[in-house]
């Protein structure tokens, strides 16, 4: 086939740009959604964009059939990805899909558990171990302890009671409890988040769990009166799991506290390291910041 010089030039430029794009995005991410008592249809596109704008990820989305429909054909190829972002809460996955997910994490896959994904699959033992702490779905003391920060250390509290809850949406301050983790390294010790649900009373097996940041949930604002873990990691087999309890709707995903911890957490889950600098608009101890 003959090709004019200009066409050839355009093709060559396209090839170079494609190669640059590939080189610039070393990790493959998969967002799983399709059912959720939350508005997953408006949050997934934001999560996708936040991952892509780091230049580190190409992003696919696996959307399950709707609630009550046959899930038999829902078989995302988890093994093809470096990180799976869970924005799913709903009907159980097929056994084959559950096995593939556990095998993916066990063999070194990364997972980001976003907000209400901590309420998914209460009766799936391995999922509870992978996410470390969860809420709702009848969870109670049989699922494991509450994990709280008391008197300068992490405490596992077996007091009977519900798993999962929150008061009315409020602004709150996150406090870094593990400043030497790649996700939190370089962040200020204290930083504000926008008006959002402050998740509390999460409980689960909490094995191999590292609390990165907590927020105090005042009783007078519907909270537990405890420092609740909102950012934490779990080691499951060779896999890295990061849970980010922030972000009730797309509005809360404008919070730079969410954006930066989500982006850094996803990179860490995918690779075990974080190369992203802390941006200049990161919130302070007194003031939340947002990106429109």
Pairing, β 226-236 against β 83-86: unpaired
Which stretch, 83-91, 197-205, 257-265, 275-283, contacts Zn ion (CB under 5 A)?
197-205
**101 vs 116 by CB, closer to Zn ion:** 116
In this chain, which of 82, 197, 226, 267 binds Zn ion, going by CB under 5 A? 197
48 binds Zn ion (CB under 5 A): no
166 binds Zn ion (CB under 5 A): no
**89 vs 210 by CB, closer to Zn ion:** 89
In this chain, which of 54, 248, 257, 260 binds Zn ion, going by CB under 5 A? 248
Contact 139, 204 (CB under 8 A): yes
**76 vs 204 by CB, closer to Zn ion:** 204
Which stretch, 45-53, 100-108, 141-149, 190-198, contacts Zn ion (CB under 5 A)?
190-198
Contact 239, 110 (CB under 8 A): yes
**91 vs 197 by CB, closer to Zn ion:** 197
228 binds Zn ion (CB under 5 A): no
Q: Which residues contact 13 (CB under 8 A, 6 or more apart)?
A: none
Q: Where are the beta strands (DSSP E) in the chain?
A: 27-33, 57-63, 83-86, 110-114, 146-150, 153-157, 170-176, 190-196, 209-217, 226-236, 239-244
Residue 95, SS3? Answer: helix
User: Which residues are near Zn ion by CB under 5 A?
Assistant: 197, 248
């Amino acid at each position: 086939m003959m090709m004019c010089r200009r066409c050839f030039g355009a093709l060559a430029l396209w090839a170079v740009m494609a190669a640059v794009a590939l080189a610039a995005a070393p990790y493959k991410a998969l967002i799983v959604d399709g059912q959720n008592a939350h508005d997953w249809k408006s949050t997934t596109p934001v999560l996708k964009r936040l991952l892509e704008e780091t230049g580190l990820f190409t992003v696919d989305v696996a959307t399950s059939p709707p609630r009550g429909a046959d899930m038999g054909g829902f078989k995302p190829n988890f093994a093809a990805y470096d990180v799976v972002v869970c924005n799913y809460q709903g009907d159980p996955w097929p056994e084959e899909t559950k096995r593939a997910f556990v095998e993916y994490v066990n063999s070194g896959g990364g997972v980001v558990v976003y907000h209400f994904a901590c309420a998914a699959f209460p009766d799936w033992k391995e999922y509870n171990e992978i996410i470390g702490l969860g809420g709702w779905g009848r969870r109670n003391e049989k699922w494991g302890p509450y994990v709280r920060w008391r008197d300068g250390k992490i405490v596992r509290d077996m007091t009977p009671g519900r798993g999962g809850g929150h008061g009315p949406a409020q602004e709150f301050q996150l406090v870094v409890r593990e400043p030497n983790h790649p996700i939190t390294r370089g962040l200020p010790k204290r930083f504000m988040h926008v008006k959002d649900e402050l998740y509390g009373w999460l409980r689960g097996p909490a094995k191999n769990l590292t609390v990165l940041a907590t927020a105090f949930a005042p009783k007078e604002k519907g909270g537990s009166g405890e420092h609740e873990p909102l950012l934490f990691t779990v080691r499951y087999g060779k896999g890295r799991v990061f849970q980010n309890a922030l972000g009730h709707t797309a509005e809360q995903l404008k919070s730079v506290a969410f954006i930066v911890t989500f982006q850094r957490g996803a990179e860490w889950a995918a690779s075990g390291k974080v190369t992203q600098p802390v941006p200049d608009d990161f919130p302070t101890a007194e003031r939340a910041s947002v990106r429109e």
